[in-house]
A and B are shown apart, each in its own frame.
Chain A
């Protein structure tokens, strides 16, 4: 075991897969010699060579299209989009091409591509770096959308994502890259896609969340405990498709739930979670399921992040509304 930050765990997962499978290729803007703008691919080109880890021209659509092409010739591309706000340039390649490859070829071809990309607020990035756009991906049949919140999850989920034979959008929250260290096994291990994780057990309220909001929710749960409430925190880990069973089991136990996301209210996946709970567990509910989200504006100017991003106090407030309904 080693103490790793999330970014180190991500590098470790890629190193493991580059070693494990000669068809794994890692590429994107500045991921080669430079080791990535966040050092996620640090040392990988030196270790595995330019044929395996390489830079691309600055064109996200080209990167996506190239991944689709490489995938049908037998490669397993791990492509990087430098910031997920740039996904619009490659929406067609991801959701209209790779996500549909298996289906439109009647199963003859498939695209085992992992699309890695940083996102997330709280670090005062310039425009269109931090936007939470997972909701767009979650609406696209044919992809998995994975968002880890810890170094341990990041490594196991990334190895699973790379090994999955269908496209996986793997989103890395920038604020979590180096915010804390955790024990991460040095040997390989996997975490199944599509499985949520109970990060804190509780009996009074279910908090369903993902990404940086997992930590915000855990902090809120501590505060709630001081006020006499025992909250269960579920980290979705995969936001599409949802692990409905874990959510429903928890709600049937606690009878109350909130959903917490960093994305705007009209975006993200919170509305899906609420709908699934309403569909399946309405008779267990003692109160409506409410959402903690960002407001429905464009992502804030950097200096306004603090007042815009949801924080633990927002979670505590909404939790108490539901607990005291």
Chain B
């Protein structure tokens, strides 16, 4: 397809933002976020921890000790870098893959595991932790984020709402409506599209003829930026800037993080070898966010094998502990589910409650 000049001009506005290259070298010094040595180490810890957690979750799922699970390996920079830029009172509206972000925002691993298994306690977000339950309907979190962001603005809070979807999700009507509403109300929303190249088996090229997802921001009249999603410093800096823009009354932002999931789409039987070549996988292996950030920190003398092993052991221990705790959750009863429907139980449910209560007490 021959591109018009107008289209080329638009695309040129969305060059990829990167701070650190694949060798862990800083290539954009002036955009470098201000981070202390401890903070830099913390970011690395979280990425290593999350990689181990992902490996363990896949294995626990295979053993039948976890239920629904959407792998995250490869997306650590995109997930952790963006969450780290938030204030603890900011709101997160995650998609189904975005469990790490809500865990680092205050949800326990035990709860994340209960959510995976399908237990109502997995959705009972801790008091004061501003996160929604992982959203299964792709796009619904986007329009809801417009509402949360408007709510924060109307309540004059110094906080933003951030949400995540994937490259496939950017094709949904709710994606466009959400960013457009946030734009029309000048609401402090951050819309992150984690472009991991595939929506299950469908490559991003089949979602849209648009060269970038970031340029879809133009349709809403809002700021858009494409970021190297395997570069945690760039993701963090872009999110930090988007947050500032929102709080200063300059409206919402769309951030496209270009990344890759090394694993399958979910653990429910997806087999990536059916739709991905090994060349593609090798190419993305070289971009591993952990590898390049490790190099960067090692060069600065901030990371060692010892620190890495310590983190790995800690992750394994925490996961074992959390699974044990999740095992201890009470079995769900139908009467529990009925209790959760309304503030005041209507006539039909009251009647059914009595039936099930009798059944359960047998």
Contact = CB atoms under 8 A, between A and B. Distances in A.
A142 to B, nearest CB: 6
Given A106-B124, A244-B347, A65 B177 contact: yes
Nearest to B177: A62
B269 to A, nearest CB: 24
12 contacts: A57-B181, A65-B143, A66-B144, A66-B147, A102-B343, A105-B123, A106-B120, A106-B340, A141-B341, A241-B348, A241-B349, A244-B348
A152 B310 CA distance: 70
Contacts of A57: 177, 180-181, 184
Contacts of A93: 140, 143
Contacts of B348: 241-242, 244
B124 to A, nearest CB: 4
A61 B143 contact: yes
Contacts, number: 133
B123 A62 contact: no
**Interface class of chain B by DSSP:** helix
Interface stretch (A71-79, A127-135, A252-260, A285-293): A71-79
Interface in A97-122: 97, 102-110
Contacts of B125: 105, 108-109
A67 B151 CA distance: 10
A24 to B, nearest CB: 12
A243 B347 contact: yes
A92 interface: yes
Contact of B147 (A51, A67, A164, A243): A67
Contacts of B123: 104-106, 108
B80 interface: no
Interface of A: 51, 56-57, 59, 61-62, 64-75, 92-93, 96-97, 102-110, 141-142, 144, 164-166, 194, 241-245
B162 to A, nearest CB: 13
A137 to B, nearest CB: 14
Nearest to B135: A97
Interface of B: 91, 93, 120-125, 132-133, 137, 140, 142-152, 154-155, 161, 173-174, 177-178, 180-181, 184, 337, 339-343, 346-349
Given A62-B180, A105-B123, A105-B133, A69 B150 contact: yes
B340 A59 contact: no
B147 to A, nearest CB: 2
A142 B342 contact: yes
A73 B148 contact: yes
A61 B173 CA distance: 8
B341 A102 contact: yes
Contacts of B154: 51, 75
Given A103-B337, A105-B123, A72 B343 contact: no
Contacts of B133: 104-105
Contacts of B140: 65, 92-93, 96-97
Contacts of B177: 57, 59, 61-62, 65
Nearest to B119: A106
Contact of B342 (A51, A66, A102, A243): A102
A242 B144 CA distance: 31
Contacts of A71: 147
B123 to A, nearest CB: 5
B322 to A, nearest CB: 18
B144 A68 contact: yes
B341 A142 contact: yes
B180 A59 contact: yes
Contacts of B181: 56-57, 59, 62, 65-66
B93 to A, nearest CB: 8
Contacts of B145: 69
Nearest to B154: A51
B346 A144 contact: yes
A220 B339 CA distance: 42
Contacts of A164: 343
Contacts of A68: 143-144, 147
A69 B162 CA distance: 12
Contact of B340 (A51, A75, A103): A103
A74 B159 CA distance: 15
Contacts of B142: 65
B347 A69 contact: no
A74 B151 contact: yes
Contacts of B341: 102-103, 141-142
A179 B121 CA distance: 50
B124 A165 contact: no
A241 to B, nearest CB: 4
B347 A194 contact: yes
Contacts of B146: 62, 65-66, 69
B144 A97 contact: yes
